[in-house]
A and B are shown apart, each in its own frame.
Chain A
Amino acid sequence: KAGVTQTPRYLIKTRGQQVTLSCSPISGHRSVSWYQQTPGQGLQFLFEYFSETQRNKGNFPGRFSGRQFSNSRSEMNVSTLELGDSALYLCASSLNRGHGTEAFFGQGTRLTVV
């Protein structure tokens, strides 16, 4: 079956702009989580969506938001981009909540803010 698909793979934006990233989970998976990876910081948890509701949120400013659709696809939005938002954004899907061993990651979206 198809894996987790993230689009676009690469993105270049200027400061002050906003960006929307997309994640299509594995078919049948209902939980989608988003992570930010920067050098030296590992993977920082952004938020988790399950059944179209945000269930969990990390320590990121309100400029970072997301949503999940009825087909479990998820989008992440970052408004008023800052240079420090340059990172690899990873999406992970799992069948249900609380199953970390079954979290499958997409290839990520590399965002560069200039």
Chain B
Amino acid sequence: DQQVKQNSPSLSVQEGRISILNCDYTNSMFDYFLWYKKYPAEGPTFLISISSIKDKNEDGRFTVFLNKSAKHLSLHIVPSQPGDSAVYFCAAVRGSRLTFGEGTQLTVNP
């Protein structure tokens, strides 16, 4: 049972445009949600989080939106930069356990 799903395995955008990465979940008991970014041969690094009681959190070029009724969250990156090219994982937290999605490979073309 995949409780957190990222349905797009890859996304390609032009430098300077908006990147929108999506994530769906099934368990309404998650406490908060995270986005991690992963480069090849490195471990994931934390990017941004959002509590389940919020619907938006912004940090510089990164904004995460949470739609609880749809059990959907998205990560917006504006403007996208070539250095943003990486695999992005969304994760849902309940207690001390993180449940990750499958990841989306973002490629930002110069």
Given A55-B96, A56-B97, A42-B102 contact (CB < 8 Å): yes
Among B36-64, those with CB < 8 Å from A are 36, 41-46, 49
Given A31-B96, A42-B101, A48-B97, A100-B91 contact (CB < 8 Å): yes
Cβ-neighbour of B43 out of A44, A56, A106 (below 8 A): A106
Q: How far is the CA of A92 from the CA of B91 in the complex (A)?
A: 14
Please tell me if the beta carbons of B97 and A101 are within 8 angstroms of each other in the complex.
no
| Nearest-neighbor residue (CB-CB) of A102 within chain B | B46
Contact residues in B for A70 (Cβ distance below 8 Å): none
Give the interface of B toward A (CB within 8 A).
Answer: 4, 6, 9, 32, 34, 36, 41-46, 49, 89, 91, 93, 95-103
Cβ-neighbour of B46 out of A31, A43, A103, A108 (below 8 A): A103
Please tell me if the beta carbons of A103 and B98 are within 8 angstroms of each other in the complex.
yes
Asked if A107 CB lies within 8 Å of chain B CBs, one says yes
Given A100-B49, A101-B34, A42-B43 contact (CB < 8 Å): no
| Nearest-neighbor residue (CB-CB) of B43 within chain A | A105
Q: How far is the CA of A98 from the CA of B95 in the complex (A)?
A: 5
Given A100-B32, A100-B34, A101-B34, A43-B97 contact (CB < 8 Å): no
| Nearest-neighbor residue (CB-CB) of A50 within chain B | B96
